[in-house]
Amino acid sequence: MPETCAALKLIPLVFVRPGELRAAEWSEIEFDKALWTIPAPKTKTKRIPHLVYLPPQAVGILRQLQELTGDGEFLFPSVRSRLRCMSENTINAALRRLGFSKDEMCGHGFRASASSIMNESGLWNPDAIERQLAHIDNDSIRRAYARAEFWDERVRMMAWWADKCDELRRGGEIIPLRA
């Protein structure tokens, strides 16, 4: 399915939660701003909308996907009904068909990969990375006062990350996990 291929290309670039990706709606995408606004009710915390900068690579994927599903509500409609979004099993099932065991990779794993590589690069403020992951600080005092969005840094970081994904796809160095 071309929609599943598009999802597998997009999720590493934007590293949102798989449920947010599969339930994405065209009304949430602003091509002119390269922005995806995930409404608060669709986020894990359901507290605030999550803003996702769309690097050029992601916009390209979305433009191609728009030709397939742009006449409907969902970016990734269900194969059974265009009135529903893609099944929660689709991304993981596609990863299994590609040869990844459930111990090796899952849809949610792209978030851990992105976070690990960004943090290890030393280029980005860890708070900006956490904000891009839509994580909420466990410290209630810090959470009450630390409301920075780090938007400019997140835009630069997402562009860097998309370029890094391109590099890895071309055969860049992959550092295996340590046992």
Q: How do residues 78-133 score in pLDDT, each as one tens digit?
A: 999 999 999 999 999 999 999 999 999 999 999 999 999 999 999 999 999 999 99
Q: How do residues 52-88 score in pLDDT, each as one tens digit?
A: 999 999 999 999 999 999 999 999 999 999 999 999 9
- Give the C-alpha separation, 88 to 11, whole Å: 14
> 3-class DSSP state for residue 59?
helix
What pLDDT band is residue 140 in, cutting at 50, 70 and 90? low
Enumerate residues 6+ apart whose C-beta is below 8 A from 58.
Answer: 10, 13, 14, 34, 162
DSSP 177: P
pTM: 0.88
Bridge partners (DSSP) listed for residue 77: 85
Instruction: Sketch out the chain's domains with CATH numbers.
Output: 2-169 (1.10.443.10)
Q: How do residues 142-179 score in pLDDT, each as one tens digit?
A: 444 555 688 999 999 999 999 999 998 888 666 665 54
Residue at 50: amino acid letter = H
- Give the C-alpha separation, 15 to 133, whole Å: 7
- Which active-site residues does the annotation give? 17, 46, 108, 111, 135, 145
Q: Of 110, 155, 19, 2, which is closest to residue 66 (Cα–Cα)? A: 2
Q: What are phi and psi of 37, to 5 degrees?
A: -105, 110
